Structure 1
Amino acid sequence: MNARQAYAAEQRRRRIRLSFLLLITFLLSTLFLFAGRYPKAGFTFPSNLADPMVNTILLQIRLPRILLALLAGAMLSASGFTFQMLFSNPLVEPGFLGVSQGSAFGAALMIVLGTASSVLVQVSATVFGLGALLASYLLAQRFRFGGALLRLVLSGIAVSAIFSSALGVVKLVAEPTKDLQDITFWMMGGLWNASWNQILSILSVVAACLVILFCYRWKLNLLSLQEKTSFSVGLNPKRDRVLLLVVATIGTTLTISITGLIGWVGLITPHLGRKLFGSDSSYSFPGSMILGSLFLLVCDTIGRTLLPTEIPIGLLTSFLGAIIFIVILSLKHQEGKA
């Protein structure tokens, strides 16, 4: 087999893996639609579909929740993959430049101010998340130490610390029996408030962000190289990096403004995507998106069915993500020894 045939065979294998992941995600989504605690813990059988309450639960509660899990998982994973490639750092996730901390502060601030509107909480979280990105970028222009990416990393650390401190102050003055509990639950993440209206409120923008990132996926390999190398092949590294960072941040902030803080999805799924599809982002990027959707779907289903009370999804993604991360690092260590 010559090099061209070997390359074509590898491409076919990657397409088959992508198709298999899509099929698994569709089948599990359909299966999990019937998993819950009504009319009793377990699965809803066809004999129960005559009950109007069962149909309402399936179509108005579980279905939008599953779709939100798929959408949020894809967006967080796509953002994490983009950040990791742009910074050439496998330990980066969407909150790397203070985005998550800024969004958390914005949501907590609106909760403490006493608003009853979830839309205002969503808008505030989005605005402050974008503000954190802008602050990191402007602050990086003032630094005189290291290269452009290193300055952005350092400014992100500083901005994250500032917003984390501000969030601590907001939690300190929050009313303990209500506002503080709302802030705590938001920061643990959850899809219990999922509805068709919430999905529609972010669908167009998040879908546009995913399309833009998907169309730029082939450039991510080049942008992960040194800036001179990227420029030599006809790219504008500074413009493209800023564009992708802004798009990834907008999608992330809109997502977590509804779901709350959900960690590890944007960190662990790009690792799994590259492990299954290799370093070529043409395949590993969509593979990571599907894995992100699948990971969040499984975590949410476990969280709402395992115990009588719901487990916040952020706790499950952190727990399972950390275990997967340990396994990946252990396997890489063993491969290195071999």
Structure 2
Amino acid sequence: MSEPSAARLSPGMTIGLLMIMLALASIASLGIGRYDIAFGRVVEILLSPLWSPSIPVTATEANVVFTVRLPRILLTLLAGSGLALCGAAMQGLFRNPLVGPQVMGVSSGAAFGGVLAILFDLTRYALLGSSFLFGLSALVLCYALNGVVSRRNILALVLAGVIVSGFFAALVSLVQYLADTEDKLPAMVFWLLGSFATANWDKLLLVVVPILLASIALLGMRWRINILSLGDEDARALGIKVEPLRWTILILVSCIVAAQVAVSGVVGWVGLVVPHMARMLVGPDHRVMMPAALIIGALYLLVIDTVARVATSSEIPLGILTALIGTPVFALVLRQTQRGSRGL
């Protein structure tokens, strides 16, 4: 029984409308903050390198838009779209709407790599590399554990992910225990809570290539994910090499999640909640649902990040807000899923 679609528009029109909403929200977010800038003025500032507006752009306006807010918003859009795409791919891969990118322990592994880099004062490039390394290590451990327990059993794979997540969470706690309480520990705690407060052009350039390439590859596989969602036997009957494809998807998901964790800490629930929004709008077909999830994820995280930086005088960590919003939504989704299963 498929989820009912809340949209009366065609999927193409819905995606087009979402893109317009994302563009408008992005421009509006550039003007929101302690130094407010009107929507029309933001447009003039963005276009100022191409043509001179009637009122010249001041140095303060240019600095606020181009140096402070633009890299942060682009990084937020990149992270939100990547996490949502990962969630949509994982839910199709596992044929389970209640899983997200964290199910394989990748986030916990990447988080351990990050705090380890902070502990030893490594560079941001080393932090990214460490997050990638331990994120992928978590994936390998998860698959190795699944092979020992019950190879090719999806439920056992999910349980293996829970075990690996717990293991790396314990390692993160151990590193925090060993860290200097005056310097390193506060930095670790703030980083683990998730935030784009330290976003800049260097961090954006650091992760834009891996996230974009992995996202494009996932989008290119969306029709294969459609087939995988039918079950392994049906996929093999249709000529799909299930195990290599599953590994490829999991590695791409790991790359996106590790890159996001490396620059902004752990941001949970986005990959779990957003695919359900996309599924309600355009239906369960991954060929349109995954692009819709990508756009909704970018819009969702942009709105939350904007609230995080303007709601109070001191910025609210992003991970707190995503959890506060994500947990009740997850409960509603679980309730609907249980109702649907009873109705079959």
Q: TM-score, normalised by structure 2?
A: 0.88
Which shifted more, 225-234 or 327-336? 327-336
Separation (CA, whole Å) in 1 of partners of 2:253 and 2:332: 28
Q: 1:305 maps to which residue? A: 310
Is 1:286 the counterpart of 2:291? The answer is: yes
Task: State which of 77, 85, 109 in structure 2 corresponds to 1:70.
Answer: 77
How far apart are 1:256 and its partner, in Å?
Answer: 1.4
Matching of residues 91-106 of structure 1 within 5 Å: 91-106=98-113
Q: 1:136 maps to which residue? A: 142
Separation (CA, whole Å) in 1 of partners of 2:279 and 2:59: 45
Separation (CA, whole Å) in 2 of partners of 1:162 and 1:303: 30
Deviations 1:89-134 (A, max 9, x none): 112111111111111111111212233x222222211211111111
Q: Does the CA contact (< 8 Å) of 2:125 and 2:206 recur in 1?
A: no
Separation (CA, whole Å) in 1 of partners of 2:235 and 2:259: 30
Separation (CA, whole Å) in 2 of partners of 1:31 and 1:281: 30
How far apart are 1:183 and its partner, in Å?
Answer: 0.9
Q: Does the CA contact (< 8 Å) of 1:74 and 1:292 recur in 2?
A: yes
Q: Does the CA contact (< 8 Å) of 2:111 and 2:131 recur in 1?
A: yes
Q: 1:227 maps to which residue? A: 232
How far apart are 1:305 and its partner, in Å?
Answer: 1.1
What letter matches 1:129 in structure 2?
G
Q: 1:5 maps to which residue? A: none
Is 1:208 the counterpart of 2:213? The answer is: yes
Task: State which of 147, 156, 164 in structure 2 corresponds to 1:151.
Answer: 156
Separation (CA, whole Å) in 1 of partners of 2:250 and 2:8: 29
What letter matches 1:134 in structure 2?
V
Deviations 1:193-240 (A, max 9, x none): 111111111112211111110011111121122211110011111111
Q: Does the CA contact (< 8 Å) of 1:103 and 1:124 recur in 2?
A: yes
Give the aligned CA root-mean-square deviation in angstroms: 2.3
Q: Unpaired runs of 5+ in structure 1?
A: 1-9
What letter matches 2:280 in structure 1?
K
Deviations 1:52-92 (A, max 9, x none): 12211110110111111111111000111111111111121
Task: State which of 186, 198, 201 in structure 2 corresponds to 1:196.
Answer: 201
How far apart are 1:155 and its partner, in Å?
Answer: 2.1
Pairs aligned (count): 323
Matching of residues 167-206 of structure 1 within 5 Å: 167-206=172-211
Q: Does the CA contact (< 8 Å) of 1:49 and 1:55 recur in 2?
A: no
Separation (CA, whole Å) in 1 of partners of 2:76 and 2:296: 12
Separation (CA, whole Å) in 2 of partners of 1:49 and 1:331: 54
How far apart are 1:297 and its partner, in Å?
Answer: 0.3
How far apart are 1:15 and its partner, in Å?
Answer: 0.6
Deviations 1:159-186 (A, max 9, x none): 1121111111111111112211111111
Q: Does the CA contact (< 8 Å) of 1:105 and 1:128 recur in 2?
A: yes
How far apart are 1:37 and its partner, in Å?
Answer: 0.5
Q: Does the CA contact (< 8 Å) of 1:277 and 1:287 recur in 2?
A: yes
How far apart are 1:26 and its partner, in Å?
Answer: 0.3
Separation (CA, whole Å) in 2 of partners of 1:149 and 1:24: 37
How far apart are 1:36 and its partner, in Å?
Answer: 0.8
Deviations 1:29-66 (A, max 9, x none): 0111111102xxx4457499743122111101101111
Task: Evaluate the alpha carbon distance shift between residue 314 and residue 282 of structure 1 in structure 2; reply closer, same or farther with a 3 A threshold.
Answer: same
Give the secondary-structure state (helix, strand or coil) at the position aligned to 1:90. coil
Separation (CA, whole Å) in 2 of partners of 1:274 and 1:154: 25
What letter matches 2:81 in structure 1?
A
Is 1:31 the counterpart of 2:36? The answer is: no
Q: 1:164 maps to which residue? A: 169
What letter matches 2:194 in structure 1?
G
Give the secondary-structure state (helix, strand or coil) at the position aligned to 1:36. coil
Separation (CA, whole Å) in 1 of partners of 2:201 and 2:151: 47
Q: Does the CA contact (< 8 Å) of 1:98 and 1:133 recur in 2?
A: yes
Task: Evaluate the alpha carbon distance shift between residue 216 and residue 310 of structure 1 in structure 2; reply closer, same or farther with a 3 A threshold.
Answer: same
Is 1:109 the counterpart of 2:106? The answer is: no
How far apart are 1:324 and its partner, in Å?
Answer: 3.2
What letter matches 2:124 in structure 1?
S
Separation (CA, whole Å) in 1 of partners of 2:283 and 2:153: 27
Q: 2:89 maps to which residue? A: 82
Q: 1:4 maps to which residue? A: none
Q: Does the CA contact (< 8 Å) of 1:189 and 1:260 recur in 2?
A: yes
Q: State percent identity of aligned pairs.
A: 32
Q: 2:12 maps to which residue? A: 15
Task: State which of 116, 124, 132 in structure 1 corresponds to 2:130.
Answer: 124
Task: Evaluate the alpha carbon distance shift between residue 329 and residue 141 of structure 1 in structure 2; reply closer, same or farther with a 3 A threshold.
Answer: closer
Q: 1:258 maps to which residue? A: 263
